[in-house]
Structure 1
Amino acid sequence: MLDNIIKLVKEQALGAISGNAQVPADKQEAAVETTTTSIVDGLKDHFTPDNLSAITNLFSGGASDMEGISSSLQGSVVSALSEKVGLSKEVANSVASAVIPAVIGIFSKKANDPNDSGFSVESLIKAFSGGKGGGGIFDALGSLFGGNK
């Protein structure tokens, strides 16, 4: 599951970075990897059983939770792209602004798609927490989103 998540994030990063003329060609690969790593690591911090309320609100359209998570991810990505890849804050911000909402949108859509049984809020939390956490919390998530997937 985590491999699928990384692939989705990487696809979004690649699209945003390769389509951004302000990212030099020789820095694009590093920018994609850095963006992907920053987002996945940032999501690991948010997708925990202790953060159940924010996660469920995020996937049911909770704007305040989305803004908080997005803002946190935005700061991480901008900082990483500036420090590790050498992009200006403005260019790093434009990359993050394109990638983060797309990633959250894809996760939300897939987690709420009854035809995508392999991708649920429960599976996201398990993937980001290394399968830790537990018991009843995953049952609660499943019931909130139409049964365990």
Structure 2
Amino acid sequence: MFEQLTQLAQQFGVESVVKNQAIPNEHNEAVMTEASSSIFSGLQKIVSEGGADQLAGLFQGNNAQNTSNPLIQKLTEQLTGSLGEKFGFNSETASGVAGSLIPQILGSLVNKAKDPNDSSFQISDVIAAISGDSTQNSGIMEAISKYGGQFGLDQNADGKVDISDAMSAVTKKGGGLGSILGKLFGK
């Protein structure tokens, strides 16, 4: 997952890092790597501190791009501090970069994870990479199941997110793989 975060940081870093006059060009790559590393470690820390509901909430609506979301604020503050500490950027430059990159990267990550047509990110892969531990993983999956209906994952409206919802999402697309899997599972 870290590689995917780095790719997103490079994608969104053009405006906020590469074209930013306050950031010397020799630091561009390192700043974008620091952004992805900061997001990854920040999410891991939130999960290890019992923030499964916060992480699940990130997958609702546009919460990942909402700068008033406490999770986004926490990750932005963490990256701001890190950029100031490691690269000597003043607080205005560091907070500008962090405030731009964090919501864009997380928004794209969440949108890709929720998009059934984009296999580059899966919610379960994101959770496994962040939690790295099966008890935390199951806690996050419980939170996602709890909030699943709110972010469109509960396809059959039975109040829980499970394999039948995954099958329903795939078979709704019609044709191709959905038809094959639907026949295979008797849908």
Do both proteins adopt the same fold according to a TM-score greater than 0.5, normalized to the shorter chain? yes
What are the ranges of 5 or more consecutive residues in structure 2 without an aligned counterpart?
155-161, 167-187
Q: Are the equivalent residues in 2 in contact too, given 1:58–1:66 (CA < 8 A)?
A: no
Q: Are the equivalent residues in 2 in contact too, given 1:17–1:28 (CA < 8 A)?
A: yes
Q: Cα distance 1:88–1:10, how it changes in 2: closer, same or farther (>3 A)?
A: same
Q: Are the equivalent residues in 1 in contact too, given 2:52–2:139 (CA < 8 A)?
A: no
In the alignment, residue 25 of structure 1 is paired with which amino acid? N
- The root-mean-square deviation of aligned C-alpha atoms, in Å, is 3.0
TM-score (norm 1): 0.78
- Identify which of structures 1 and 2 has the higher relative contact order when contacts are C-alpha pairs closer than 8 Å and 6+ apart: 1
Q: Which residue of 2 aligns with 1:130?
A: 132
CA distance in 1, matches of 2:15, 2:134: 32
Secondary structure of 1:76's partner?
helix
Residues matched between the structures, number: 149
Q: Which residue of 2 aligns with 1:32?
A: 32
Q: Which residue of 2 aligns with 1:18?
A: 18
Q: Which residue of 2 aligns with 1:55?
A: 55
| Aligned-residue offset at 1:141 | 3.2
Secondary structure of 1:4's partner?
helix
CA distance in 2, matches of 1:44, 1:140: 16
CA distance in 2, matches of 1:22, 1:89: 11
Q: Cα distance 1:47–1:121, how it changes in 2: closer, same or farther (>3 A)?
A: farther
TM-score (norm 2): 0.65
Identical-residue share of aligned pairs (%): 27
In the alignment, residue 54 of structure 2 is paired with which amino acid? A
